[in-house]
Amino acid sequence: MATEDDKGVVPIGEGQTLLLNIGLIYLLAEWKWYSRYETLQLLSIVCVLVFTIYVLFHAFSRHPLSKTHRFILSLCSSIIFLIFSINHISLLMVDTVRESAISISNWTLIVNYFLLGVAAI
């Protein structure tokens, strides 16, 4: 098992988690979850907003990060990456590669598959 002290693992900081959280808020706004009043949507929006406040506190304060805080930030970052991956998979399942390899839509799909692979890492 790798730890932060090993060379192969880059520690996740507050800035990266904050950017991921902003991306998740944008994704929820794109899905228009704020306009629906179902329990799951409202619960997820409240969880995202609570975590946003948590990340903002740690990003802009001088409060030292303990191992517990780093674990919570890392866990939520992993969950956000999982949500992004599921979103990419659901979008890519709709499209298939066309016969013409030169078309712009094929290159868009290739870039999307590449980004999906990067997000999965």
User: What string of DSSP letters covers 11-59?
Assistant: PP-HHHHHHHHHHHHHHHHHTTGGG---HHHHHHHHHHHHHHHHHHHHH
Q: In the predicted model, what is the mean pLDDT of residues 17-44?
A: 81
Full-model pTM: 0.68
Q: What value, to the nearest 5°, has the Cα angle with vertex 75 and ends 115 and 44?
A: 85
Residue 50, burial from CB neighbour count under 10 angstroms (0-12, 13-18, 19+) = exposed
Q: In the predicted model, what is the mean pLDDT of residues 99-108?
A: 64
Nearest 10 degrees: CA dihedral of 119, 73, 45, 88? 0
* More confident: 120 or 24: 24
pLDDT tens-place string over residues 63-83: 888 888 888 888 888 888 888
pLDDT tens-place string over residues 36-58: 678 888 888 888 889 989 988 98
